[in-house]
Structure 1
Amino acid sequence: MSKPLEGGLRPRTLVVHHRSGIGDLVWHLPYLRAIAERSAGGKASVMARPSSRAVDVLAAENWVDEVIEYDHRPRKSEHRKGRHDGFFAQLAFIRALRARRYERIFIFSGRARYALMAVLAGIPQRIGFGFTALERLILTEQAFIQPYTGPGNWVFPEATAFSIAHGLVDGPVVPRMAVLPDALAQAEKDLRAFPPHRHAFSIGTSEARKNWGAPRFAELAAHLLEEGIAVVLLGGPAEADAARAIVEATPSHLRGNLLASTQASIQRSAALLRQCQFCLGNDTGVLNMAVANGVPSLGLFGVTPPLAHDPLLHALVGEGMSAIHVDDVLRRMRELHAPGLNGV
């Protein structure tokens, strides 16, 4: 278990979130909160990649002291150089960390680079996964974990094992997300005139191979709309064209109960999810946000292993996304008693 500093004072704490995705950050939420509870003032700072959208995801979390973006080696799909790539940019970033005088760092990663950065930033208490001999040499706490080798995605199991090893939690904690009150009020207002049964579609994806495709989403939307179920299309600005294609492929007489929201605000998307009773779609951030906001969901997993961290998240698995047909999705939704479908 990690220890307070000398004198029993709670340390000023920085948490490193290494993963790139929005969903990855959502999975870590209960463990980040647990760290903050044991830190100075009940708060902690979070160092995260821009692609995780940490500033927006954590906007309603009252335990966050500061979000520090670490823009190093962006995803290849972003086609750009990171602000902190290069030797001198790294040194400047480390100097900025040193100026904040953190006393403890939790590193949700097995990368030795972060532990070395902590040493150079003068952070005395360094806690990480300890996957390599070099990392273990630099860390100050000896409760190391082993890489996850079980079925499915490894990110949540490793974050859980790390948190258990350091006495933050007794077992896995299902993630739940906080949402800004103003965003919730606006979403309620915007959907007030829609039918009471509302289904959200997670149409975005970080990889084209994980995308079910606009034509299938449009076919499914038309079926649900015919049954009196409102459909909310959720994604970021990159999904604007896909959302437009879905809307245009939907019969014009049904479009009144179809809302497309492809904007940048994570809080806006989360608030709209709170107004829905079901979510389905691609394996991406919105799907993880849905269950983290208490919305039962069906994920379409054609090329990635199904997620199993939350009992609200169900899976439909296929040999490739093209192997998952609309009838398959409707059948699974009926099995799950999706609200409004065939009178359920």
Structure 2
Amino acid sequence: MKILAVQNRMGIGDMVIFLPFIEAIARKYACPVSLLVKENSKASKLLNKNPNISEIIILDRDNKSIKGRHDGIGGALKLINDLKKYKFDKVFIFNSSLRFNLISKLARIKEIYQYPLFEKKNQHIIQAAQTFLKKELNIDVPSNPIISIGTNQIKQAKSKYEILNNQLNILLGIGGSGETKRIPSKIYIKFMQLCSEKYDCRFFLATGTKNEEQEILKEILNSKFQSKCLALDQLDLIDILPIIKNCKISVCNDSSFSHLSAALEIPTIVLMSDTPLL
């Protein structure tokens, strides 16, 4: 049996949120599932060794800077042809889009399961997925994504980056794609000061490469805690994950790193600014 799951939301955080639901489908049918996802979900790096995922297909559309291969009517036709080659038996579409419904039909997928059409407004990201799988497969799926990292990867990261057991290793998720999600550097520096008064700490600074994120990183690195910090912004996600796994606690704004650290089963504190609750 060949099964496709469509998760077209952008970003790492959304990919992590949907992971339990995709894995539940694989367990239900006792076979790994193929994923149709966007490149910036980083699914190919997050899930490259996940036994519940057979293949990752990149959905190339909705990129603001360039026209994607799957944009527009012509892009839809290309996506139809791409999916036809796999000869999927079933598809689970985690959205209410008529576009993906029609694409699946024209790709000759026999069984199509999807959220109710045209009900995107005010759709709760987790509850909608739970209701969907309860209705279609009669399974209850808790929202507890887990990302597994190999023991050797964890040990190698510990050795390479000189992560010591006698220090309190803390992940600080200081970046954020949205302006309203970012927390000022002075808040993190104050937290670092308070922690350092009682513990021998080392701080791993996780952020993206946007100018606003880099400014926060620069301000922290210019503080008196520079020698206790390791910036992760130039590392590949595959290399960052085992570093996070070596941390004792994570303090992040509402960004992808809060989802990643929680899924890696690291105690995670999320700093909310004016981000709306789910």
Same fold per superposition (TM over 0.5): yes
Q: Does 1:303 align with 2:274?
A: yes
For residues 195 and 83 of structure 1, do their structure 2 counterparts lie closer, same or farther at Cα, with a shift above 3 Å needed? farther
Shift of 1:201: 0.8
Match among 5, 23, 29 for residue 19 of structure 2:
29
Q: Per the alignment, do residues 281 and 83 of structure 1 end up closer, same or farther by CA in structure 2, a change over 3 Å counting?
A: same
Instruction: Give 3-state SS (helix, strand or coil) of 1:294's partner.
Output: coil
- Aligned position for 1:170: 140
Counterpart residue identity of residue 192, structure 2: A
- Structure 1, residues 117-162: CA drift from partner, whole Å, max 9, x if none? 1011111110000133xxxxxxxxxxxxx7696xxx8211211221
Instruction: Report the 3-state secondary structure (helix = DSSP H, G, I; strand = E; otherwise coil) of the residue aligned with 2:35.
Output: strand
Q: Structure 2 residue aligned with 1:64, among 37, 53, 58?
A: 53
Contact 2:154 2:242 in 1 (8 A): yes
> For 1:1-344, what aligned pairs fall within 5 Å after superposition?
11-39=1-29, 42-74=31-63, 76=64, 79-132=65-118, 154-167=124-137, 169-189=139-159, 190-193=161-164, 195-227=166-198, 228-238=200-210, 239-248=213-222, 250-251=223-224, 254-263=225-234, 265-306=236-277
Task: Choose 101-110 or 83-92, whichever is displaced more.
Answer: 83-92
CA distance in 2, matches of 1:164, 1:176: 20
Give runs of ≥4 in structure 1 deviating > 6 Å. Answer: none
Q: Secondary structure at the match of 1:166?
A: helix
TM (norm. structure 2) is 0.89
Q: Offset of 1:63 from its aligned partner?
A: 1.9
- Report the AA paired with residue 208 of structure 2: G
CA RMSD of aligned residues (A): 2.3
Higher relative contact order (CA 8 A, sep 6+): 2
Cα offset, 1:22, TM superposition: 0.9
- How many aligned positions are there? 274
Identity %: 24
Gaps of 5+ in 2: none
Alpha-carbon spacing, 1:148–1:198, altered in 2? closer, same or farther (3 Å): farther
1:34-75 per-position Cα deviation (integer Å, ceiling 9, x unaligned): 212244x7211000011211111212312211101102112x
CA contact (8 A) 1:58 1:64 kept: yes
Say which SS state the counterpart of residue 218 (structure 1) adopts. helix
Change (3 A) 1:217 1:80: farther
In the alignment, the residues of structure 1 paired with residue 218 and residue 166 of structure 2 have an alpha-carbon distance, to the nearest angstrom, of: 22
Gaps of 5+ in 1: 1-10, 133-145, 308-344
What is the identity, as a one-letter code, of the residue corresponding to 1:71? D
Q: Shift in Å at residue 231 of structure 1?
A: 1.3
Instruction: Tell me the TM-score normalized by structure 1.
Output: 0.73
**Residue 65 to residue 195, structure 1, CA distance change in 2 (3 Å):** same
> Residue type of the partner of 1:234?
A
2: CA distance, partners of 1:155 / 1:210: 18
